[in-house]
Structure 1
Amino acid sequence: MEVIKLLEYLHEIFETSSKVPVTGKILVDKKEVSSIVDQIINYLPDEFKKAQWVVEEKERILGEAIQESSTMKKESIDMLKKQIENHDITKEAKVRAEEIIASAQRDAKAMRLGARDYADEILCQLEKEINEKGQVMIVNIKKQVENFIVSLTDEVSGDLDTIRENIKELRGMK
């Protein structure tokens, strides 16, 4: 780190140089300062190259570490998934889940059959009730029709009797 030493020496020259009154400026030996600046310029490229290499190396190492960390994380997750899948509790849970599903399917089938049987029973009862009510209605309608016919016959007979009497009376008037 020669550059730092040279910069410190240059700073010391500025601090110890004689000052021009009122202006705040200093007097320095041009050759000496120029020589130091030239040395700094000569050292800088090497120092910059080394610094650049250090930065690039740091970035490369960090990148590799991040990539390796990501790979290890994925592998760990995959391994955990496999362990979970192969664990006895998971296997038991799968078996229990299948049993629950089978039981639910059996219950659903029983409910469907029960509902179908119930609907069939209700419809059969309805059919029987409609038949019975229909028979009663037919009997009632027949009775009403017979009563109407008897009443109509009686009325027509009464009217015919009146007409016959009127005819006899008219024939008797001659």
Structure 2
Amino acid sequence: MDILNLIDEIEDIVEAGTSVLFTNKVMVDKEELLEIVQEIRIKLPDEIKQAAWIKDERQRILAEAQKDADTMLNEAEYKLEELVDQQEIIKKANARAEEIITKAKSNAKEIRIGAMEYADSLLLETQENLKEAIQLLNDNRKELRGME
């Protein structure tokens, strides 16, 4: 950088200057220093513009990065909400499925019990009819034997 070189030249001039006795002061060539200061003024605006541009560019990049980060965060939150909603739907579907299975098992048990009770009542009725038929057969046989 030219400005840094010019500042180095000023330091060299000050270091090479003649010391004033009993003080911290130095005698230097006024014209030489003013010439360097003038060059610094001429070159300084470009350097400052570059520094300002770099600063603005840095701010723009940081703002863009923050915007991208916010966008990614929002997308992640949205997807998380979708997943939570899907999980909730899955939980409700599973609960409903369990409820249906439980009800189906209960209905099947009731149907089995009802079928068994119905079969038992048919068998009992058949048994009673058979008892009556056997009794009637026994009575008929006795009657036949009594006719002999």
Q: TM-score range by the shorter chain?
A: 0.5 to 0.7
Q: Which residue of 1 aligns with 2:55?
A: 55
Does the alignment pair 1:79 with 2:79? yes
2:10 paired residue number:
10
Aligned equivalents of 1:92, 1:14: Cα separation in 2: 81
Q: Could you list the runs of 4 or more consecutive aligned residues of structure 1 that deviate by over 6 angstroms after TM superposition?
A: none
Deviation by residue 1:65-91 (Cα, 9 ceiling, x = unmatched): 10111011101111122133234xx33
Instruction: Identify the residue that residue 129 of structure 1 maps to in structure 2.
Output: none
- Within 5 A, what are the aligned runs for 1:1-174? 1-87=1-87, 90-95=88-93
1:165 maps to which residue? none
The whole-number CA distance in structure 1 between the counterparts of 2:57 and 2:69 is 18
Amino acid at match of 1:52: A
Take 2:16 and 2:77, find their aligned partners in 1: how far apart are those partners? 66
Structure 2 counterpart of 1:66, one-letter code: Q
> Matched residues in 1 for 2:25 and 2:85: separation?
81
How far off is 1:28 after superposition? 0.5
Structure with the greater alpha carbon radius of gyration:
1
Aligned equivalents of 2:27 and 2:90: distance in 1?
Answer: 91
What residue number does 1:127 align with?
Answer: none
Q: Does the residue aligned with 2:26 lie in a helix, a strand or coil? A: strand
Distance 1:23 1:86 in 2: 83
Q: Post-superposition shift, 1:52? A: 0.3
Which whole-Å CA distance do the structure 2 matches of 1:95 and 1:75 have between them?
A: 26
Count, aligned residues:
99
Per-residue CA deviation, residues 27-81 of structure 1 (Å, 9 max, x unaligned), is 1111110100000111110000000000000001100110111011101111122
What is the match of residue 168 of structure 1?
none
Structure 1 gaps, min length 5: 101-174
For 2:42 and 2:48, the matched residues in 1 are separated by 11
- State the TM-score, normalizing by the size of structure 2: 0.60
Whole-angstrom CA distance in 2 between matches of 1:4 and 1:92: 68
| Identical aligned residues as a percent | 34
